[in-house]
Structure 1
Amino acid sequence: MASRTSPARRPSTTRRWGRSACAAPCSFPRTPGADGIGYGRDYPIFWIDRFHPHGVKQHTAFAATSRAQVDAFHSAAVAAGGADNGPPGLRGVETGYPAGYYAAFVLDPDGNNIEAVFREPSR
């Protein structure tokens, strides 16, 4: 996966939200920096910083390792002040999702759509 950057209107608020919503439930270690913070398993792949224009809304998806991790992400993200944008559950193939696509969506404090997704193995 390529590195993504999410714009932050209020970096400290967005960093706190990211720490609660992404780092803990998704087991993403964080890499703090003076002007931003990065998250990722082996190396930072997702950054929250103050340099990118916050008026541009983005959609970022994190690959979860289980349904439970998707559920934990959604609960933590909403508890941390994110807005529910689609509760955890299987998404329908009739709406364009592949079979076994289990996901949850939350709007972060800056209105970016953050998703956690677990793709169930084919049977």
Structure 2
Amino acid sequence: MIDHMGVTVRDLQASKAFYDAAFAPLGIGVVMSVSAEETGSSAFIGYGPNADRRDIQAGKPSFWVSEGQAVTGPMHVAFLAADRGQVNAFHAAALAAGGIDNGAPGVRPHYHPNYYAAFVLDPDGRNVEAVCHAPA
């Protein structure tokens, strides 16, 4: 159901030091970083299970940390879609229900080549996403 979530922090490097230390005993570490230039907004650090955990999700970021003003709320959550059609339908239904567009359905190659997602702001300004990782 939930693919990943993210939080906005005041100081990215201080939060990184904290999460690096706190997650190390759990076998969780930084598995992806995305620059502000790539996102067009803020830099993001993605945490997930380390490869040595032999976890089915090893290497996949499931917890994201970004620095900045909580323009779209202090939290982001992404729900897993079975296919791209579900992503499109989620976006349309959310807009029809009063959500605000925060990113039309499309591929986000800075995450990976098949990352197909759509973003909407809920009534409280939280960034809600539907994502499909399967190829077209």
User: What TM-score results when the alignment is normalised by the length of structure 1?
Assistant: 0.50
